[in-house]
């Protein structure tokens, strides 16, 4: 045994002596060139090619590295043997990732690729303008040479898109509102934000199920329609008009749309916007994958139907101006001093033309994948120019509570299932009076919330209130009309007659205002 260890020590001594001679005879430059040549020879005979994606590219963070890290945190990485578990700031979910110096296989368009997470210690003597992490991290992508030109570019684009979707789903959604008076925050942005925590979903929305499915399919087609919109030459945006009586769930619908798509919401307060230029700047500062909302648009500024105003005899000299020609009269929209001495800073000069360009003009195309939502309680007050397709593509009537919506409310608030917790006779009585009662989901929800711990009492009280309301409406002659038909007629009246002339009327009204101003001067 002693002889064995002696021989081993002699062999190691010979190796150390030879290494010393090699280092003396062959300088580091020659050894580096030899290693480089060996790698080239090896790569010539190898069937694979390798791509290095480092965490830091020079002094900047490599966006592709973060995208790959997020992509590998999807369901693909869960099949790995060794994973890291993290939760990012402002994230609502945990993400999985590759552990240090571990690898995983992936398949894209039938091609096998291998990812390896390489982590090495950074040389402490390296000079940098900013502190660098002690470890040097990166991903190595291995692809067969024959597949490189087939999938490399498309695969990386797919990773970037997938990572963006994961990031949006994991992060908390935000609710934005424009700053008061157009002021900017510390970062120079005109929007202020808070976390969006509204729990409304299409499952909890009290609405006819068929209509909900129609809306959900339309939203899904929009979110997946980038190729279609590009092919047809249309801007990737869509407009929704929610109209109906107060308390019918218009705000809840907007929250459900945001939760369904995972979009942020920009709640635009028109009364805080001074002019069309400021409106455009607000639009430019909105992000893609967002919903831009103007609630109660008929109440925000004077956006009533021009035809109705003309029939009522209102002209440029009246307080309402020319109706919608310039949203307000030319004087009110730009020359506040002439009209009663109001200071310019207190004058809202948004015109209808500016609002139309906001939703359907060239400036509306400065971003992609955005949804515009307008809400109103009185659709007949809106000008037809706002309602046409291309601005408001889908008109959604939020009606009084129907039987289908009532079943959803009973399930949400009381946990009642039809045919299980409620007798058939009770359901039949509810069905008989719900249409005549004309109660909003908000009114019915209040009754159910008040008695949510006592199901039978809640249903009995609701049935009694519905009967009283139905009887009252019957005496007043309001319960015999069909809600949907009435609202459709109302919308037709808003879109009626000379709608093709609306665009030219806007210009004519503005010209009239300009001529009138010249006379006064």
Q: Is 188 helix (H, G, I), strand (E, B) or coil?
A: coil
CATH number of 173-397: 3.40.50.300
More confident residue, 308 or 315: 308
Q: Which region among 184-188, 267-271, 313-317, 328-332 has the lowest average model confidence (pLDDT)?
A: 328-332
Q: Provide the residue ranges of all domains of the chain, joining segments of one domain with +.
A: 43-125+132-170, 173-397, 403-476
Neighbouring CB atoms inside 10 A of 114's CB total 14
Q: How far apart are CA 219 and CA 202, in angstroms?
A: 12
- pLDDT tens-digit map of 372-411: 999 999 888 888 888 888 889 999 999 999 999 999 999 9
Neighbouring CB atoms inside 10 A of 518's CB total 7
pLDDT at residue 173 tops 70: yes
Question: pTM of the full predicted structure?
Answer: 0.67
- pLDDT tens-digit map of 1-56: 677 788 888 888 888 878 777 777 777 777 767 777 776 776 676 788 888 888 87
Q: Name the token pair of 119.
A: 């982590």
pLDDT at residue 367 tops 60: yes
Instruction: Give percent of the chain with pLDDT exceeding 90.
Output: 22
Tell me, what's the pLDDT at 67? 87
Q: Chain-wide mean pLDDT for the chain? A: 76
Which residues are CB-contacts of 180 (< 8 A; sequence separation ≥ 6)? Answer: 272
Q: How far apart are CA 379 and CA 334, in angstroms?
A: 27
**Residues 365-371, mean pLDDT to the nearest whole number:** 81
More confident residue, 112 or 489: 112
- pLDDT tens-digit map of 91-100: 556 666 677 7
Tell me, what's the pLDDT at 345? 46
CA dihedral 65, 70, 76, 77 (to 10 degrees): 80
pLDDT at residue 241 tops 90: yes
Which residues are CB-contacts of 395 (< 8 A; sequence separation ≥ 6)? Answer: 240, 241, 243, 379, 387, 491
More confident residue, 420 or 267: 267
Tell me, what's the pLDDT at 317? 36
Tell me, what's the pLDDT at 89? 59
DSSP letter string, 500-516: GGHHHHHHHHHHHHHHH
Tell me, what's the pLDDT at 452? 85
Q: How far apart are CA 378 and CA 360, in angstroms?
A: 22
Angle between helices 441-450 and 455-476 (to 10 degrees): 150
pLDDT at residue 186 tops 80: no
Q: How far apart are CA 182 and CA 499, in angstroms?
A: 34
Tell me, what's the pLDDT at 91? 57
Q: Tell which residue, 481, 474, 495, has the closest CA to residue 305.
A: 495
Q: Is 112 helix (H, G, I), strand (E, B) or coil?
A: strand
pLDDT at residue 334 tops 90: no
Cβ atoms 122, 131 nearer than 8 A: no
Torsions phi, psi of 144, nearest 5?
-65, 140
Tell me, what's the pLDDT at 272? 85
pLDDT at residue 449 tops 70: yes
Q: Name the token pair of 427.
A: 């359901």
Q: Which region among 77-81, 270-274, 431-435 has the lowest average model confidence (pLDDT)?
A: 77-81
In 389-481, alpha helices (H): 403-414, 424-437, 441-450, 455-476
pLDDT-derived band of residue 369, with 50, 70 and 90 as boundaries?
confident
pLDDT-derived band of residue 184, with 50, 70 and 90 as boundaries?
low
Tell me, what's the pLDDT at 482? 52
Highest-scoring range by mean pLDDT, 160-164, 371-375, 455-459: 371-375
């Amino acid at each position: 045994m002693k002889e064995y260890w002696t021989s081993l020590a002699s062999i190691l001594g010979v190796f150390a002596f030879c290494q010393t001679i090699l280092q003396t005879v062959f300088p580091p430059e020659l050894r580096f060139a030899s290693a480089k040549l060996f790698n080239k020879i090896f790569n010539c005979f190898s069937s694979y090619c390798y791509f290095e994606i480092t965490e830091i590219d020079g002094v900047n963070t490599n966006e592709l590295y973060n995208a790959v890290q997020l992509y590998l945190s999807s369901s693909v990485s869960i099949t790995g043997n060794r994973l890291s578990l993290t939760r990012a700031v402002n994230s609502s979910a945990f993400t999985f990732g590759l552990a240090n110096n571990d690898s995983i296989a992936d398949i894209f368009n039938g091609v096998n690729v291998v990812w390896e997470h390489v982590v090495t210690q950074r040389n402490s003597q390296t000079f940098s303008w900013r502190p660098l992490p002690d470890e040097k991290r990166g991903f190595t992508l291995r692809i067969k040479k024959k597949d490189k030109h087939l999938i490399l570019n498309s695969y990386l684009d797919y990773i970037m898109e997938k990572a963006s979707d994961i990031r949006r789903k994991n992060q908390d959604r935000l609710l934005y509102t424009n700053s008061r008076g157009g002021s900017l925050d510390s970062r120079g942005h005109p929007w202020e934000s808070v976390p969006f925590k509204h729990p409304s979903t299409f499952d909890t929305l009290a609405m006819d199920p068929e209509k909900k499915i129609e809306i959900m399919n339309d939203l899904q087609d929009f979110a997946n329609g980038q190729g279609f919109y590009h092919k047809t030459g249309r801007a990737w945006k869509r407009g929704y008009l929610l109209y109906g009586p107060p308390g019918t769930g218009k705000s809840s619908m907007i929250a459900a749309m945001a939760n369904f798509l995972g979009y942020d919401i920009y709640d635009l307060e028109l009364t805080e916007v001074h002019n069309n230029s400021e409106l455009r700047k607000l639009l430019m500062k909105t992000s893609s994958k967002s919903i831009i909302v103007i609630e109660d648009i008929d109440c925000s500024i004077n956006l009533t139907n021009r035809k109705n105003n003309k029939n009522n005899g209102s002209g440029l000299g009246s307080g309402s101006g020319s109706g919608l020609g310039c949203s307000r009269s030319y004087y009110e929209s730009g020359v506040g001093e002439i009209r009663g001495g109001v200071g310019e800073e207190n004058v809202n000069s948004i015109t209808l033309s500016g609002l139309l360009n906001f939703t359907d003009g060239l400036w509306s195309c400065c971003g992609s994948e955005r949804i515009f939502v307008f809400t109103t309680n009185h659709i007949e007050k809106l000008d037809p120019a706002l309602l046409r397709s291309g601005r408001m593509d889908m008109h959604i009537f939020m009606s009084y509570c129907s039987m289908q919506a009532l079943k959803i409310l009973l399930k949400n608030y009381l946990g009642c299932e039809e045919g299980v917790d409620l007798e058939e006779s009770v359901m039949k009585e509810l069905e008989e009076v719900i249409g005549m009662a004309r109660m909003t989901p908000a009114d019915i929800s209040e009754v159910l919330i008040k008695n949510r711990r006592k199901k039978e009492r809640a249903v009995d009280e609701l049935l009694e209130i519905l009967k009283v309301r139905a009887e009252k409406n019957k005496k007043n002659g309001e319960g015999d009309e069909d809600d949907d038909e009435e609202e459709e007629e109302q919308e037709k009246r808003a879109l009626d007659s000379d709608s093709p002339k609306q665009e030219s009327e806007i210009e004519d009204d503005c010209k009239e205002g300009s001529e009138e101003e010249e006379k006064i001067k």
